[in-house]
């Protein structure tokens, strides 16, 4: 009953939308799917290339690009979207073709994401790449049993019930592969209904140098999402190798997951191989991502952007045990290690150089370990040369090959056997040590050492002068150890010159001042009259009269006065002019001063 | 019991042989004798003791560097000769031995690696700073300043034209000497903190840890600039521009 009402409502909505004018927009997706997901080497497998188009668009899907190492057994033309002008936006058209491929050797193959181009030749849609793990025996995945849906069975899957996708007839089988989140208790996560990031490692207590696989998954309540890394996880104390493409920011595949009561999808965003470089507590920093997804239907849904942060992870790296450790063991050398040695020429003239290459194959950390060098024997010198390492990321766990070069120089003729090269390593599986060994090639040196062409005399360029026999035993004199001493000594002369200038100027100023003071200190009538003359010459008549009055007064105080009348007359003249103020004429002032002088000089 | 203990103590004090202190001259003589017998390790040890005791004059450091060079400890030899030349640029024997040590070191490295060794020249600013010791620069500066003062006085009191011209020339020369000494002092004072890598087979570390990931190699005897210090590790920059951490015990400060 309820199902019937649902259908009725969906039909009404579809009819309304069909009557409405079609919007000029389209949604297209390209998808690749391997069947089975983990095929066996040498066995054919299918890759289904699906194009889904909602709306109308004039685009063309491009042919599949098959990577090297995969044989194409069936190569159909790429699927094409139907050209339907005015098609409704709710119709989804799907078209798919099936390629049949075969891998000769096991490994990890990445088929680039399919692309569709528009009329102008530009890429308008690009799907995610497909990673196929080809094993030796083939995986027993559930998806292998789930045949890809034939598009001709239901060419219009959303026509009758566009609002609600049809439920699968049977429960989906659990997928497998490295990008599938582990089952069980949800660890390494702060769960949220809006989405979260989950980080997991496959080992909690690895040995130093042992590979730990770090994976980060984004869980969202939508079919897929876009990611933007905000902060990558810090990996202090680890040697790291990324196992996904460097340009991949988000998940290549989204898988349905049920977290409690939430229906979500999860996609792997990071996969890194980590190798602890030392023992102890090692921390993997938190990963922060901005994730954007559409909640609900892809057409009517609402766009959400959530910032997710994964918690930090702590690993406890262990040092291989001291018990039973062979001499010369370098921490981090984990086995098994395969050794091989080759020399470019086993027979060489004395004094010339042959190159010995030692190849070591081991785990992914081997490139960071210093391997022991071959030991020299009497008559043969072994000089270290270059070294390089390559890591093979197509296998799990990673494998590295280190090639160390050594220069072999024979100092005399003869047949020399270098001691076998022994490399101790630790097996994490058994917890025991073992020693890898490689027999080095025999070297035959012929001829005699050729003397240098220019050995006529001693090499002057390398001649050392003899020791000093008469050594004065004293410490190194170092006075100028501070900036104050340096600049103090350098500034002494300028400061002295400045001081001399300042002293001279000061002395001169004091002398002038003293002379002026002495000249004005005298207060006898003659001096006062002289000052009055000076004031009169300067045009200051009032001051001249004042000084003349003071001279007259001092003269009158003196004993032996003869003419009181003359004194009174001169005083009256001076006072009269002084009371007249500034308006007095200079000639009158001069006359008054002359009268005073006559009185003063007449008495003296 | 209380009487026995002090008695035993005094008896022990009387019986104990006095410590034999070797004076500096004896140590020097011993080092020279050891060098004469070819015992370079003993000679180097004695000279190191002398230098550690404070007798680190130019001659002692020069002898130590020469012994190091003969013992094929080239990095330490380069360090000693560089120190001597910083103090005494006119020590031609030290300059000759530094050159010979560098040639020997380059030949040894070339023989080991099979590649020619290219040495980086130090920057011009550093070369100017190392031209003369600081004391010489200061003395030149003081003399130049005195010359300026005397030339000015002479010029003012000069009666003849010849005396005035002579005083002017002396003034110009004194001013040049003063400015040159000022430049030398500034160059010397602003020299970067440099060290010499003492041992071979080292690589710069990416972080200041014992188990850090090794990076670019550094040559024995190479001059590096100290940038920072973190515990026992020193962050250095080579003349080629590579940076990284090294154990401080592997560096000899100049």
Residue A578 pLDDT exceeds 90: no
Q: How confident is the model at residue A259 (pLDDT cuts 50, 70, 90)?
A: confident
The residues, any chain, with a CB within 8 Å of residue A515's CB and separated by 6 or more, are none
Tokens 């670019």 belong to which residue? Answer: B216
What is the DSSP-derived secondary structure letter of residue B190? T
- Give A185's DSSP letter: S
Residue in the structure block whose two tokens are 């003791």: B49
Direct distance between the N- and C-terminal alpha carbons of chain A, in angstroms, rounded to an integer: 153
When pLDDT is cut at 50, 70 and 90, the band that residue B197 belongs to is very high
More confident of the two residues B153 and A167: B153
- Give dist(CA B65, CA A594) in Å, integer: 100
Between CA B82 and CA B95 the distance in angstroms is 8
- Report the SS3 class of residue A252: coil
Which of 1.10.1530.10, 1.25.40.10, 2.170.120.12, 3.90.79.10 is the CATH number of B20-113?
1.25.40.10
Q: A-contacting residues of B 154-213, CB under 8 Å?
A: 181-182, 185, 189, 207, 209, 211-213
Q: Which residue has the higher pLDDT, B167 or A169?
A: B167
A480 CA to centre of own chain: 43
Q: How far apart are the first and last CA of chain B?
A: 59
Our CA-based measurement puts residue B12 at a distance from the nearest CA of chain A, in whole angstroms, of 37
Shortest Cα distance from A379 to chain B (angstroms)?
16
The yes-or-no verdict on residue A63 having pLDDT over 90 is no
- Tell me the torsion sign for CA atoms A182, A187, A191, A195: negative
> Could you give phi then psi for residue A372, rounded to 5 degrees?
-65, 150
- According to CATH, where is 2.60.40 located in chain A? 24-145, 196-317, 338-446
Q: Does B37 touch chain A (CB under 8 A)?
A: no
pLDDT for residue B5 is more than 70? no
Residue A540 corresponds to which tokens in the numbers above? Answer: 């200051």
pLDDT value at A261 more than 50: yes
Q: Across all residues in chain A, what is the average pLDDT?
A: 79
Q: What is the pLDDT of residues B29-68, one digit of tens each?
A: 899 888 888 888 899 999 999 888 888 888 899 999 999 9
Q: Do B182 and A466 touch (CB under 8 A)?
A: no
A211-222 tens-digit pLDDT: 999 999 999 988
The b/e string for A61-81 (b: 16+ C-beta within 10 A; e otherwise) is: beebebeeebeeeeeeebbeb
Mean local confidence (pLDDT), B170-181 = 93
Average pLDDT of the segment spanning B233-239: 92
The closest alpha carbon to A330, from A424, A227, A210, belongs to A424
Q: What is the rounded distance in angstroms from the CA atom of residue A304 to the CA atom of residue A294?
A: 6
Torsion A567-A572-A578-A583 (CA) sign: negative
DSSP calls for A87-137: --TT-EEEEEEEEEEEESS-EEEEEPPPEEE-TTS-EEEEPPPEEEEEBSS
Query: At residue A385, does pLDDT exceed 90?
Result: no
Report the alpha-carbon distance of residue B226 to residue A520 in Å, rounded. Answer: 73
* Interface contact B32-A467, CB threshold 8 A: yes
In this predicted model, what pLDDT tens digit does every residue of A406-429 receive, in sequence order? 888 888 888 998 889 999 999 988
Contacts of A476 in chain B (CB under 8 A): 56-58, 61, 87
- pLDDT tens per residue across span A437-484: 999 989 999 887 665 555 555 677 778 888 888 877 777 777 888 888
Is A148's pLDDT higher than 50? no
Mean pLDDT of chain B: 86
Q: Report the pLDDT value the prediction gives residue A22, as an integer from 0 to 100.
A: 41
Predicted local distance difference test score (pLDDT) of residue A586: 81
Cα–Cα distance measured from residue A476 to residue A483, given in angstroms and rounded to the nearest whole number: 19
Who has greater pLDDT, A543 or B5? A543
| Contact yes or no for B66 and A466 at CB 8 A | yes
CB contact under 8 A, B60 and A471: yes
For B194-253, CATH number?
A: 2.30.30.40
CB contact under 8 A, A473 and B185: no
Report residue A15's pLDDT band, with 50, 70 and 90 as the boundaries.
very low
Candidate from A126-130, B99-103, B164-168 with smallest mean pLDDT: A126-130
Q: Looking at the complex, does the CB of residue B97 fall below 8 Å from at least one CB of chain A?
A: yes
Q: Which CATH code for domain A338-446?
A: 2.60.40
Topology adopted by domain A196-317: Immunoglobulin-like (2.60.40)
Q: Is the pLDDT of residue B198 over 70?
A: yes
Using CA atoms, how far apart are residues A361 and A340, in angstroms rounded to an integer?
A: 9
Q: Which of A277, A465, A473 lies nearest to residue B211, judging by beta carbons?
A: A277
Asked whether B85 and B130 are in contact (CB, 8 A), the reply is yes
CATH class of A24-145: mainly beta
> How many angstroms separate the Cα of B248 from the Cα of each of A105, A234, B18, B199, B253?
51, 28, 38, 12, 9
pLDDT confidence tier of residue A150, bands split at 50, 70 and 90: very low
The number of residues making up chain A comes to 604
Domain ranges of chain B: 20-113, 134-189, 194-253
């Amino acid at each position: 009953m309820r199902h019937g009402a649902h259908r009725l409502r969906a039909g009404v909505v579809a009819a309304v939308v069909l009557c409405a004018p079609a919007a000029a927009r389209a949604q297209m997706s390209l998808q690749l799917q391997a069947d089975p997901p983990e095929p066996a080497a040498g066995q054919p497998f299918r890759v289904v290339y699906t194009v889904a188009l909602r709306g109308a668009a004039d685009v063309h899907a491009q042919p599949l690009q098959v990577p090297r190492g995969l044989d194409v057994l069936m190569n159909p033309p790429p699927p094409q979207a139907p050209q339907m002008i005015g098609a409704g936006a709710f119709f989804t058209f799907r078209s798919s073709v099936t390629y049949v491929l075969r891998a000769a050797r096991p490994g990890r193959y990445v088929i680039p994401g399919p692309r569709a181009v528009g009329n102008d030749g530009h890429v308008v849609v690009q799907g995610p790449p497909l990673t196929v793990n080809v094993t030796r025996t083939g995986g027993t995945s559930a998806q292998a049993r789930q045949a890809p849906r034939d598009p001709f069975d239901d060419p219009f899957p959303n026509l009758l019930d566009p609002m609600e996708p049809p439920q699968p007839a049977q429960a989906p089988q659990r997928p497998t592969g490295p990008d599938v989140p582990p089952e069980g208790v949800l660890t390494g996560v702060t769960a949220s209904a809006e989405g979260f990031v989950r980080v997991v490692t496959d080992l909690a207590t690895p040995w130093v140098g042992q590979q730990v696989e770090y994976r980060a998954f984004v869980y969202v309540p939508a079919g897929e999402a876009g990611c933007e890394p905000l902060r990558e996880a810090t990996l202090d104390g680890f040697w790291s190798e990324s196992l996904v493409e460097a340009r991949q920011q988000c998940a290549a595949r989204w898988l349905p997951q049920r977290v409690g009561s939430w229906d979500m999808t999860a996609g792997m965003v990071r996969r890194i191989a980590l190798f602890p470089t030392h023992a102890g507590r090692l921390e993997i920093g938190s990963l922060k991502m901005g994730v954007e997804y559409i909640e609900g239907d892809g057409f009517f849904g609402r766009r959400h952007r959530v910032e997710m942060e994964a918690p930090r992870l702590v690993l406890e790296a262990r040092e291989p045990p001291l018990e039973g450790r062979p001499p010369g063991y370098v921490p981090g050398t984990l086995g098994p290690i395969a050794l091989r040695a080759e020399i470019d020429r086993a027979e060489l003239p004395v004094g010339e150089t042959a190159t010995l290459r030692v190849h070591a194959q081991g785990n992914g950390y081997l490139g960071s370990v210093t391997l022991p060098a071959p030991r020299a024997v009497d008559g043969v010198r072994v000089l270290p040369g270059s070294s390089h390492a390559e890591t093979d990321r197509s296998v799990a766990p990673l494998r590295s090959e280190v090639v160390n070069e050594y220069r072999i120089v024979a100092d005399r003729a003869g047949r020399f056997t270098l001691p076998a090269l022994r490399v101790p390593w630790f097996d994490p599986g058994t917890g025991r040590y073992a020693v890898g060994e490689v027999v080095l090639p025999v070297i035959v040196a012929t001829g005699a050492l050729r003397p240098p062409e220019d050995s006529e005399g001693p090499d002057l360029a390398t001649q050392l002068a003899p020791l000093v026999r008469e050594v004065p035993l004293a410490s190194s004199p170092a006075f100028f150890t501070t900036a104050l001493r340096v600049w103090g000594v350098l500034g002494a002369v300028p400061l002295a010159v400045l001081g001399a200038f300042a002293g001279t100027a000061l002395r001169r100023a004091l002398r002038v001042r003293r002379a002026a003071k002495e000249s004005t200190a005298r207060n006898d009538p003659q001096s006062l009259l002289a000052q009055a003359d000076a004031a009169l010459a300067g045009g200051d008549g009032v001051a001249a009269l004042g000084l003349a009055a003071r001279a007259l007064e001092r003269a009158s105080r003196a004993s032996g006065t003869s003419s009181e009348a003359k004194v009174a007359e001169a005083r009256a003249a001076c006072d009269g002019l002084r009371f007249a103020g500034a308006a007095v004429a200079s000639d009158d002032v001069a006359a008054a001063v002359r009268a005073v002088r006559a009185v003063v000089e007449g008495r003296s | 019991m209380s009487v026995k203990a002090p008695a035993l103590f005094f008896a022990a004090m009387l019986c104990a042989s006095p410590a034999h202190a070797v004076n500096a001259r004896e140590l020097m003589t011993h080092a020279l004798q050891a060098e004469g017998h070819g015992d370079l390790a003993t000679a180097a040890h004695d000279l190191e003791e002398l230098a550690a005791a404070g007798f680190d004059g130019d001659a002692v450091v020069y002898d130590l560097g020469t012994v190091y060079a003969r013992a094929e400890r080239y990095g330490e030899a380069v360090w000693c000769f560089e120190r001597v030349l910083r103090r005494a640029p006119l020590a031609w024997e030290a300059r000759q031995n530094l050159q010979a040590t560098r040639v020997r070191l380059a030949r040894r490295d070339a023989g080991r690696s099979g590649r020619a060794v290219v040495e980086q020249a130090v920057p011009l600013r550093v070369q100017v700073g190392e031209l003369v010791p600081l004391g010489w620069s200061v003395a030149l500066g003081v003399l130049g300043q005195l010359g300026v003062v005397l030339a000015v006085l002479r010029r003012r009191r000069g009666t003849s034209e010849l005396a005035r011209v002579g005083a002017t020339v002396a003034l110009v020369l004194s001013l040049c000497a003063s400015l040159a000494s000022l430049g030398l002092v500034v160059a010397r004072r602003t020299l970067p903190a440099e060290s010499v890598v003492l041992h071979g087979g080292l690589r710069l570390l990416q972080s200041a840890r014992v188990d850090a990931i090794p990076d670019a190699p550094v040559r024995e005897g190479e001059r590096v600039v100290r940038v920072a210090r973190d515990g026992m590790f020193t962050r250095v920059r080579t003349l080629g521009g590579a940076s990284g951490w090294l154990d401080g015990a592997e560096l000899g400060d100049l």
